[in-house]
Amino acid sequence: MSNGSATATHLTATEAATAARRASRPLATASLEARNKALAFIAAGLRERVSEILEANVADLESERAVGLTDALRDRLTLTGERVEAMAQGVEAVISLDDPVGEELEHRTIASGLDLRKVRVPLGVVAVIYEARPNVTVDCAALCIKSGNAIVLRGSSYAVNSNEALAAVVRDGIEKAGLPGDAVQVLNGSREELAELATLDGLIDLIIPRGGEGLKAVLKEVATVPVMYAASGNCHVYVDSDADLDMAREIIVNAKTSRPGVCNAAETLLVHEDVAAEFLAKALPELADAGVELVGDERTRQLAPEGVTVGEATADDWNNEFLALKLAVGVVDSVEDAIEHVNEHGSGHSEAIVTGSPDTTGQLFANSLDSAAVYINASTRFTDGFEFGMGAEIGISTQKLHARGPIGLRELTTTKYILLGEGQIRR
């Protein structure tokens, strides 16, 4: 068993994955009581060592690596006492969730007389690649521990001190519960590590990247390990012709401005032509007053009220995840046109419709979109494992195989068939 104070950042990706693989075996068979005990020690450790964690975070914020970060990225990198407490509460929320390991999905007797059970089992070793959000270190580790998986965390170089401080708390908590601390490994974010990690067949069972299309493209070039993409969120809000316009205005302002640097923030607003003049006259000034840079199509720019600047939207603007206070705005002729736009330009993350006809137009919109989450009369900002009652999440999967939407405990398991016989042989 490793010493919790020894950090894995001194190991190569191969060495870290090898240590995690060894640790994954006892963790996979550990009791629910032991796994929950580890999580309880982690939550307590976060509260006890908050000063140490914040000191490490200040070092990251003042580092040369952080020079030039956008306001949105600095916000994602920054930790406060309240955010550390939220991490601890998130870990406690995971404790309260049902155990996915051993969950019986099917039980029957087959023709041979064998008693067949299909059960959930841990994946083994999960690698998570993420950017400047230190809370991800704790969220992902907690979910993997609860689901019986070891984890290799490859965070951003911007957050190396914060991630190491948090991982030390996690490893100490695991070891206090009598489990192997090597089940959690942290790498320091170098590009060479990324390529090495992506090719560790036999050591890594699944890679989950949390990042934009650039990270996705890099991994597609080199990965030989299975990858479940928690990729970009080019999310849309569509305001239909019979929408409650006050509701619609509140939804788009929330979806765009509450936390613009996260993947479930809205990046595009589409408005039906029948209500565009009335809606944009109020919504655009409110968005502009909130500091949102607005770009739009020709009809939007013509309808923009005096004093509100709307730049010309480029072809790239409709496809981009801004992760900032910027919004593309377009006027469409129908819900069908809105659906076509979202399916062409969206990233498969989260979309919303505001409509007075939720059972008809709302369902048409929801059923026609190729996205992981669709909201009828609500903000896209709810696409989140905690909000969905899953505790924390590792990311939002925008692909279709294995898992889609928030990646929680059950999404970190696979299945196994266990068959009980009485000496049967196949003839």
DSSP secondary structure code for residue 403 in this structure: -
Asked if residue 271 belongs to a domain, the reply is yes
User: Is residue 128 located within the same domain as residue 253?
Assistant: no
Asked if residue 80 belongs to a domain, the reply is yes
Is pLDDT at 327 greater than 50 in this prediction? yes
Is pLDDT at 370 greater than 70 in this prediction? yes
User: Is residue 250 located within the same domain as residue 369?
Assistant: yes
| pLDDT tens digits, one per residue of 198-228 | 999 999 999 999 877 778 788 888 999 999 9
Q: How confident is the model at residue 96 (pLDDT cuts 50, 70, 90)?
A: very high
Predicted TM-score (pTM) of this structure: 0.83
Asked if residue 168 belongs to a domain, the reply is yes
User: Is residue 122 located within the same domain as residue 264?
Assistant: no
Which 3 state secondary structure label does DSSP give 314? coil
Of 63-67, 107-111, 283-287, 336-340, the poorest mean pLDDT is in 63-67
pLDDT at 184: 97
Of 14-23, 236-245, 304-313, 383-392, the poorest mean pLDDT is in 383-392
pLDDT at 231: 66
pLDDT at 2: 40
User: Is residue 200 located within the same domain as residue 243?
Assistant: no
pLDDT at 339: 98
pLDDT at 395: 84
Of 116-125, 182-191, 277-286, 301-310, the poorest mean pLDDT is in 182-191
CA angle 161/2/96 to nearest 5° reads 75
Structure tokens at 300: 């939007």
User: Is residue 334 located within the same domain as residue 409?
Assistant: no
User: Is residue 407 located within the same domain as residue 353?
Assistant: no
Q: How confident is the model at residue 167 (pLDDT cuts 50, 70, 90)?
A: very high
Is pLDDT at 27 greater than 60 in this prediction? yes
> How far does Cα 374 stand from its chain's mean position?
16
Alpha carbons 145 and 143: distance in angstroms, whole number? 6
User: Is residue 355 located within the same domain as residue 410?
Assistant: no
What DSSP line would sit under 220-262, residue for residue? Answer: HHH--S-B--B----EEEEE-TT--HHHHHHHHHHHHHS-TTS
Is pLDDT at 6 greater than 50 in this prediction? no
> Sign of the CA dihedral 275, 281, 287, 292?
positive
Domain total in the chain: 2
Alpha carbons 245 and 8: distance in angstroms, whole number? 53
Which 3 state secondary structure label does DSSP give 131? coil
HSE of 154, CA atoms in CB hemisphere, 13 A: 27
Asked if residue 49 belongs to a domain, the reply is yes
Mean pLDDT of 168-194: 92
CATH of the domain at 272: 3.40.309.10
User: Is residue 274 located within the same domain as residue 140?
Assistant: no
Asked if residue 371 belongs to a domain, the reply is yes
User: Is residue 239 located within the same domain as residue 226?
Assistant: no
Is pLDDT at 100 greater than 90 in this prediction? yes
Asked if residue 387 belongs to a domain, the reply is no
| pLDDT tens digits, one per residue of 398-423 | 888 888 898 999 999 999 999 999 99
User: Is residue 217 located within the same domain as residue 304?
Assistant: no
Is pLDDT at 5 greater than 50 in this prediction? no
Share the mean pLDDT of the chain: 93
HSE of 202, CA atoms in CB hemisphere, 13 A: 3
Asked if residue 196 belongs to a domain, the reply is yes
Is pLDDT at 33 greater than 60 in this prediction? yes
Alpha carbons 27 and 149: distance in angstroms, whole number? 7
Domain that holds residue 282: 235-382
Q: How confident is the model at residue 133 (pLDDT cuts 50, 70, 90)?
A: confident
CATH of the domain at 92: 3.40.605.10
C-alpha closest to that of 151 among 189, 181, 184: 184
For 250, 330, 363, 407, the CA distances from 255, given in Å and listed in that order, are 8, 16, 21, 21
Is pLDDT at 3 greater than 50 in this prediction? no
User: Is residue 220 located within the same domain as residue 130?
Assistant: yes
User: Is residue 287 located within the same domain as residue 356?
Assistant: yes
Asked if residue 388 belongs to a domain, the reply is no
Considering the chain, what percentage of its residues have pLDDT values greater than 70?
A: 97
Alpha carbons 403 and 141: distance in angstroms, whole number? 19
